[in-house]
Structure 1
Amino acid sequence: MSTDSVPSRADTVVIGAGAVGCSIAYHLTELGAEDVVALDQGPLPVTGGSSTHAPGIMFQTSPSKIQTKTAHYTSRLLKDAGVYTEVGGIEVARSEERMDFLERRVEWAKSYGLPDPQLLEPEEVTEQLPLVDEDEILGGYYSPTDGQVAGTDALQWYINESAADFYGNTEVTDIETTDGEVTAVETDRGRIECDRCVLATNNWAYQTGQMVDLDLPIAPVEHQYVVTESLAELEGNASSLGDATAGLEVPGDRTITESMSQPPDRPVGRDQDHSLYFRTHGDGYGLGSYNHESLVVDPEEMGKNTDESQASVHSFTEKHWTKATHPNRDKSPQQAFDELLPATQDKEFQVTENGIFVYTPDGMPVIGETPEIDGLWTGLAIWWTHSGGYGRILAEWMENGVPRLPSGPVDTSAIHVARFAPHAGNKEFLMDRGGKRYEQVYSIVEPRWQPDEHRGLRESPFYPQQAELGAEFFQSGGWESPQWYEYNEDLVEEYEDQIPEQDEWQGINRSPIEGAEHLHTRENVSMYDMTTFSSIMVEGDDAGEFLQQVCSNDMEISVGRVRYTTLLNEGGNVIADLTVARLDDDEYMVTTGGGNSPGIHGSWLQEHAPETVSVTIEESAKCTVGLWGPKSRMLLQRVTDADVSNDDFPYFSCKRMYVGDVPVIALRVSYVGELGWELWAPSEYGRKLWDTLWEAGQDLDVRPIGDGALESMRLEKGFRLWGTDIDTDVNPLEAGLPFAVDLETEFIGKEALAEAKEAGIDTEVACLTLDDSTDAMLGGRPVLADGEVLGYVQAGDFGYSVQESIAYTYLPSEYAEAGTAVQIQCEGETYDATVRDEPLFDPGRDKIIR
């Protein structure tokens, strides 16, 4: 409903009433939230944001599970609402490389539950899209539930159906906080006290973030779209121009909003080889183009509506249509469309725009409660395609503590607002990376692709030594992390009979050196840079009691011991897996992975800690060497006076000691399944730590190893990786981690986990090996039995020690037993595979505990 006067108080204020804000408000009230207010600076429902200038095309298939799931939820919601036209979507291929890519689309669609994805022959494409020149294409991908949302109608539906109060023409001027909590939203029509505030401002996200001193890494980018004049080939198509905006206040050119609300009469189309898409608008064709240089807008210069213009629509720049300005495309949009859709050649345009929407540095949305300000939530960088789904996820998260869709809990690692590294909020960085994501939006991005720009941002203290050893650096979270070392090239010949070739797509950006490093570590000793992993210090008289309340395992451990555990949300799903070392009576070191882990896991611990407990996230304050392999004890004993024998320093224990002159916290743990230690030291000692170990181990043939070797070794041992094998979409029992749970203790999520156990675990993690192939499997590819899709590959690699290709997945429990035959589809091939008992390597742990 909508009212005129702004209230002085609300429980929740949603800033932004476009596709995302309306969805959030709708879903919050649907879940029972009361006193929800939604505000927008523009009129309702045509606010001046991207929701009504967007053509509304919804292609659901993505390599990301959560993007696909949210898109499908959105399409079902809006179809039931009567504002979605389900005409199907066809993506055409004009190159062999694109045909291979479309095969991947089919595999992703199967994995993530989209109905009936199909590959089409050229003539099957033109049966449904007769204006496409059949001679220009090699085939297509068809998703029958794709379509188009009528933006204005959908927004009006949300407003009508929601129990929230909506206020247009209301500009937010400030967000008030007190002691790190949201207290009020200031508007040009008055102040609204509130307990929670949601930023759903997309194009203005950076500006609203600045109100509370948050540098949200969201860049506005211009995008071209035109609608042709009437085409003879479409003569007689129904037109509804004038219906969508009748009686509504519309900023700027009403024709744009009207045109975008017209439904298509045939499948929506994409020509990703030329970064184009298209759909009908009555008797005209709408043509959209990413095929131009990135036109990034300074986020601080996003304006407001005027009588003459809509704030998120800039003037059409003809040169970007008629000239080839995209760095990776050799044809202009006009030339490519003339070839693909000859009927549009030389036609005038009745609508033109450079519409604005946003990109983050990694191209994914920004969802969740900000770690800096309690009660401040974000729902940003989201398109119409996914808006319904993310609105539901965020509403569930806010109301029930569990991010989920009706189909179940969802993985939040790739979308969490706390995932970004500290440098991501720099305006130059976020604009450059946002522009790069725009440039890549329809590109075929290789596995393990690496950017060229903004490199060298974060380097461990070992970087100079690693560079001298020929490290091939990959970037993750800004860190330069070695994937392999050219120094170890001589090992390839030594182990060549155990290192199969990985051809074509699976082999891109890989090296046989990764396998050689893996095998060398199993036989000798290696050093691995763990500096991207992070320590979190938990200290205080109540530190142990606090950890007991948040950790699923029994944390009643003695000083000098280490325990593996998980953090769970209220739904019993995994927020994090952690290693906890008790250093003193009231001092614990919690270690977590790299990438987005410090921000997400550390901020969660800080949020839940009582005033009597200090939680310090030590991201980059410490550097770490993983010293692993059967000769690791021999090397370590050479450089320390501490006793590192098995009797005095057993598995899963810790010590403060010296390595040469360097003070370290040594943890007797190993992520590769070999004897070994993690050596944590203050970063300023890092170079000395590396040199001390390196020099002492020369006669032992100590070697550096990179992330490639680590991945294959951890899969052989079945060690989990948060964000890949485990996340907020599974509980620890499903993930095969019952040893990390003690239901005799009290912890967050226990009740839900106990109920799940009582009801019976019907989905379980499963380790698969290929029956007769050494090809490495890629994530997101479907796992089937008897023609039915059961799950998808979470992680895969070749296990060089066990000499088998390994894939981890989740399967219905009846299929998860060892010996079950399944199939994996990957890169157009179907591979026979078998469920195996895990771990595949050293199941008795003889190597790791000796």
Structure 2
Amino acid sequence: MSKPELPSQAETVVIGAGAVGCSVAYHLTELGAEDVVVIDQGPLPVTGGSSVHAPGIMFQTSPSKLQTKAAHYTSRLLSDAGVYDEVGGIELARSEERMDFLERRVEWAQSYGLPDPQLLSPEEVTEHLPLVNEEEILGGYYSPTDGRVDGIAALQWYIANSGADFYGNTEVTDLDVAGDRIGAVETDRGTIDCERCVMATNNWGHQTAEMADLDLPIAPVEHQYVVTEPMDELADAGSNVGDNTDGLLVPGNRDVQEYMSEGPHRPVGRDQDNSLYFRTHGSSLGLGSYNHETLSVDPDAMGKNDDRQASVRGFTREHWEKPTHPDREKSAKQAFDELLPATEGVEYEMTENGIFVFTPDGMPAVGPTEVGGLWSALAIWWTHSGGYGRIVAEWMENGVPRLPSGPVDTGGVHVRRFEPHAGEKDYFVDKGAKRYQQVYSIVEPRWQPEEHRGLRTSPFYHQQTELGAEFYQSGGWESAQWYDSNADLVDEYEGEIPEQDGWRGINRSPIEGAEHLHTREAVSMFDMTSFSSIVVEGSGAGEYLQRMCSNDVEMETGRVRYSLLLNEGGGILADVTVVRLDDEKYLVTTGGGNSPGIHGGWLEEHAPETVSVTVEEGAKSTIGLWGPKSRLLLQRVTDADVSNDGFPYFTAKRIYVGEVPVIALRVSYVGELGWELWAPTEYGQRLWETLWEAGQDLDVRPMGGGALESMRLEKGYRLWGTDIDTDSNPYEAGLSFAVDLDTDFVGKAALEAARDAGIDDEITPITLDDSEDIPLSGRPVLVDGESEGYVQAADFGYSVGKPIAYTYLPTEYTDAGTDVQVKCEGDLYDATVRDEPLFDPGREKIVR
């Protein structure tokens, strides 16, 4: 299976022959890539990584569309390959809170296209899983296409059906990087020169990346699993244990692979209230537990797969028998004995603490790194491995991350999304431990961590704190969601701010609505410091941006233009504001969070030698000054002419605000008269003070992110990563005004082809007819009882007096007045398609 002689050259080298590496190699060669080499430190196919110690259980449903789609693709691929047991999956509820959560699972499954999701009664659960104690549960969620993958068989299938060459027992010792580009992979058997390299080493991902001087936050943790002795209750299933790995070289304890190769004959199950899962192994029962304190592993001390399996550690019985999980009252053993009484007193034939990995946000890390030609396919489990292998291969070969169903959104999984501090080992190991702890927890909407706060703050932070800011963290930044100092406004706008009860009201405040309404009537200051500026300058800067931007950015100095950055497939990589500052100098502004790494990285990678691209993350302190009184306030603190004639909409000026030098942009993200004021960070505190003091008699107020979200939805302004991403093109996203086909730009050919083929789906706003409840994202939008879309983003439109949701629908349903329904938290809401924007369609409030 493994070739004897290592080549000295290959077009592509994939490091890691586990589930992900094999999937990437298989899909690359399926797409036509040649000269692909896969290497692994362990023997083939039982490499010794997490792919061969994992029980292979696949639950496909996730609140993430991408995770669900990747899982479903994986299940179909491996089912067709004959290495997937489609026994179904049942998630159990032992509490009313969990039963509500399972209703959400059904709604996500409906939104993202999983077949036939069902809620089950306790009696229906035990028809499928007779070992479950019916008295212990309230019901279950059943996904018929869930199941289990036979890990070793799947790896054998990939290797046999791939056009790549595989080499086991080959340890990578270094990555040669020259001129910010991968050039070779050094191993203990020789060096392989290459043009491209894929890191698919999961548990060793941090170590592999360090060889290229990259600090990737990949945190290994231990996870407990046991297999019982054969049980009388399962005797009819029989067992092949002892024969499953005949003829295979297996590092370490062969029993682990023997039992993991034994397939289930009943649905796989989850008891998430106790952080547990289970499956049958022939006549034995496998029990898995997250129900223990996080057992983190030093990412630099993973060890090697030689005479042992480095990703399997010794079983720690105290973590099985004692309650060590901070959020669980019962131990794994106690909870299993109650749920599955037949396991009480049964001996264990096999035990393990297996290792797998988490990133700080619990999502995969995929895509091109900042090292040219070096790709990441990390923090991926069996459940999603087939899908992400296809996505990465398409991305590498065709420039477009996609599945057969279409382009996918990558902002939430892009390897370059991580903030600058995320690579510090203590930080990401601790964050990974928290994600492990939360794997089966019910995480509230807008949940905020308590640890590692205050890492990144704007110069306004102390003023915001004095004003009672409720800080939310995004990308490490502390950003105000609302201000307690504005609580008096709630009484002023009584009757216009409906209460939000239950799940949808958690971590919300009526102050958000009050700040929205006040900004529409007076003037507010919004902290935009987490947003990013990118300076593009040098000879040919204008021509370069013209090639990168979908809109025509050939404009006079002082003009501002909204544009998109597209990938080769016409998907929206970013929406940006382009400002021409001088003949050969431009300012490109974009969002915060993952935008600097992804969007800034894209511009850096494509810039010619004569053009400098500087991502000014954190270098500017920025205030959004918005509202009908914003001009009066700004004119008080500057000698510049800020009249409509002197400072028209979508123009920019260098001005002084008091003593502070500012680049002022006449733009507004809330649909009101206003400006963005960009100043060097060291001037930020004075900028805030100057505006604040001058605006007291105008009732200037601080405004948080909650008001921003509801105001931008009323105006139909898009938010990258929420409404638009690489899975949509400008025509689908209603952004054709940001496309000028008379210019040449990246993605133009694909966009013209999409236009000529016709647009099948289009974004559209809907409002609820007879309810003030706010729909939640990811919930299905129905037409005539069939799911045709799902909620992308939603909030209450305090100025229009209705809940607003944005969704992509087939174009035949996007005419204003079309009746639809939204399903949320088990309720069906009548809703109506509307024209956009819902607020101030004539732009009279902005352009005045």
TM-score by length of 2: 1.00
C-alpha deviation, 1:238, in angstroms: 2.3
Is the Cα–Cα contact under 8 Å of residues 824 and 831 in structure 1 kept in the other structure?
yes
Cα shift readout 1:778-805 (whole Å, capped 9, x = no counterpart): 1100001111110100000000000010
Residues 637-688 of structure 1: CA deviation (Å, up to 9, x unaligned): 0000000000010000000010000000000000000000000000000000
Q: Structure 1 residue 231: deviation in Å?
A: 1.1
- Residues 124-135 of structure 1 mapped to structure 2, 5 A cutoff: 124-135=124-135
Runs (4+) off by over 4 Å: none
Q: Which residue pairs with 2:253 in the alignment?
A: 253
Match of 2:314 in 1: 315
Name 2:369's counterpart in structure 1.
370
Give yes or no for the alignment of 1:334 onto 2:349. Answer: no
**Offset, 1:306:** 3.8
Tell me, yes or no, if the aligned pair for 2:42 and 2:306 is still in contact at 8 Å.
no
Cα offsets for 1:113-139 (capped at 9, x unmatched): 000000000000000000000000000
- Structure 2 residue 795 is the aligned partner of structure 1 residue 797: yes
- Residue 721 of structure 1 and its aligned partner are, at CA, apart by 0.1
Any idea what the Cα deviations from partners look like across 1:422-461, whole Å, max 9, x if unmatched?
A: 0000000000000000000000000000001000000000
Aligned 8 A contact 2:789 2:807 in 1: yes
The match for 2:53 is 53
Q: Could you tell me which runs of 5 or more consecutive residues in structure 1 were left unpaired when the two chains were aligned.
A: none
CA contact (8 A) 1:131 1:343 kept: yes
- Asked if structure 1 preserves the Cα contact closer than 8 Å seen for 2:2 and 2:44, the reply is no
Q: Distance in 2 between matches of 1:746 and 1:313?
A: 53
What residue is the counterpart of 1:814 in the other structure?
812
Residue 710 of structure 1 pairs with residue 708 of structure 2: yes
Spell out, residue by residue over 1:566-607, the C-alpha distance to the aligned partner (whole angstroms, 9 max, x if none). 011111110000000111111100000011011100000000
Q: Report the Cα distance in structure 2 between the residues aligned to 1:808 and 1:218, rounded to whole angstroms.
A: 34
**2: CA distance, partners of 1:788 / 1:236:** 41
Counterpart for residue 662 of structure 1: 660
Q: Residue in 1 aligned with 2:295?
A: 295
Choose the corresponding residue for 1:458, options 450, 456, 459.
Answer: 456
Match of residue 201 from structure 1:
201
1:353 aligns with 2:348: no
SS, match of residue 433 in structure 1: helix
- Within-5 A mapping of 1:468-547: 468-547=466-545
The aligned residue for residue 65 of structure 1 is 65
For residues 540 and 234 of structure 1, the distance between their equivalents in structure 2, rounded to whole angstroms, comes to: 73
Match in the other structure for 1:268: 268
Aligned to 2:610: 612
Q: Which position in structure 2 is the counterpart of 1:733?
A: 731
Matched to 2:33, the amino acid is A
Q: What residue in structure 2 maps to residue 676 of structure 1?
A: 674
Aligned position for 1:557: 555
* Secondary structure class of the residue paired with 2:846: helix
**Alpha-carbon distance between aligned partners in 2 of 1:534 and 1:244, rounded to the nearest angstrom:** 55
Alignment of 1:147-186 (within 5 A): 147-186=147-186
For residues 217 and 772 of structure 1, the distance between their equivalents in structure 2, rounded to whole angstroms, comes to 46
The aligned counterpart of 1:94 is 94
State the alpha-carbon separation in 1 of the partners of residues 536 and 729 from structure 2. 24
Within a 5 Å distance, the mapping from 1:735-814 to structure 2 comes to 735-814=733-812
SS at match of 1:849: coil
Amino acid at match of 1:611: E
The structural deviation recorded for 1:704 is: 0.1
Give the aligned residue type for 1:454.
H
Q: Structure 2: which amino acid aligns with 1:163? A: G
Aligned residue identity for 2:703: I
User: What residue is the counterpart of 2:33 in the other structure?
Assistant: 33
Q: How many Å separate the matches in 1 of 2:236 and 2:835?
A: 63
Q: Give me the TM-score of the superposition, normalised by structure 1.
A: 0.99
C-alpha distance in 1 between matches for 2:494 and 2:220: 49
List per-residue Cα deviations over 1:490-510 (Å, max 9, x = no partner). 000000110000001000000
Cα drift, residue 245 of structure 1? 1.4
Partner deviation per Cα, 1:202-230 (whole Å, 9 max, x = no partner): 00001011101111001000000000111
1:190 maps to 2:185: no
Question: Is the CA contact 1:153–1:244 (under 8 Å) kept in the aligned structure 2?
Answer: no
Matched residue, 2:79? 79
Secondary structure, counterpart of 1:61 in structure 2? coil
Residue 299 of structure 1 aligns to a residue whose secondary structure is coil
Secondary structure of the structure 2 residue equivalent to 1:641: coil
Amino acid at match of 2:679: A
Q: Tell me, in whole angstroms, the C-alpha distance in 1 between the residues paired with 2:198 and 2:757.
A: 35
SS of 2:529 mapped into structure 1: coil
2:488 and 2:846 mapped to 1: Cα distance?
Answer: 27
1:653 alignment partner in structure 2: 651
Number of residue pairs matched by the alignment:
848
Residue 10 of structure 1 pairs with residue 7 of structure 2:
no
Structure 2: gaps of 5 or more residues:
none
Give the CA deviation at 1:142: 0.1
Deviation at 1:481, TM superposition (A): 0.4
Please give the alpha-carbon distance, in whole angstroms, between the structure 1 residues aligned to 2:208 and 2:242.
34
CA distance in 1, matches of 2:243, 2:10: 34
Q: CA deviation at 1:236?
A: 2.4
What per-residue deviation string (whole Å, max 9, x for no partner) do you get for residues 348-388 of structure 1?
A: 100000000000000000000002x1000000000000000
How far off is 1:305 after superposition?
Answer: 2.2
Q: CA separation in 2, counterparts of 1:504 and 1:557?
A: 50
Q: What pairs up with 1:619-630 in 2 under 5 angstroms?
A: 619-630=617-628
Distance, in Å, in 1 between the alignment partners of 2:479 and 2:280 is 47
1:616-648 C-alpha deviation (Å, 9 max, x unpaired):
000000010000000000000000000000001
Any idea what SS the aligned residue of 1:496 has?
Answer: coil
8 A contact 2:640–2:655 mirrored in 1: yes
State how far apart, in whole Å, the 1-side matches of 2:207 and 2:559 are: 47
Question: 2-side partners of 1:431 and 1:689: how far apart?
Answer: 38
Supply the AA of the counterpart residue of 2:359: T
Q: Hey, what's the Cα distance between the residues in 2 that align with 1:779 and 1:546?
A: 37
Q: Which residue is equivalent to 1:144?
A: 144
Cα RMSD for the two superposed structures:
0.6
Counterpart CA distance in 1 for 2:2 and 2:543 is 48
Letter in 2 for 1:43: P
Which residue of structure 2 aligns with residue 107 of structure 1?
A: 107
Contact 1:2 1:159 in 2 (8 A): no
Give, as a single letter, the amino acid of the residue that structure 2 aligns with 1:401.
Answer: G
Distance apart, 1:15 and its partner CA: 0.3
* Aligned mates of 2:420, 2:213 — CA distance in 1: 14
In structure 2, distance between residues paired with 1:728 and 1:504: 33
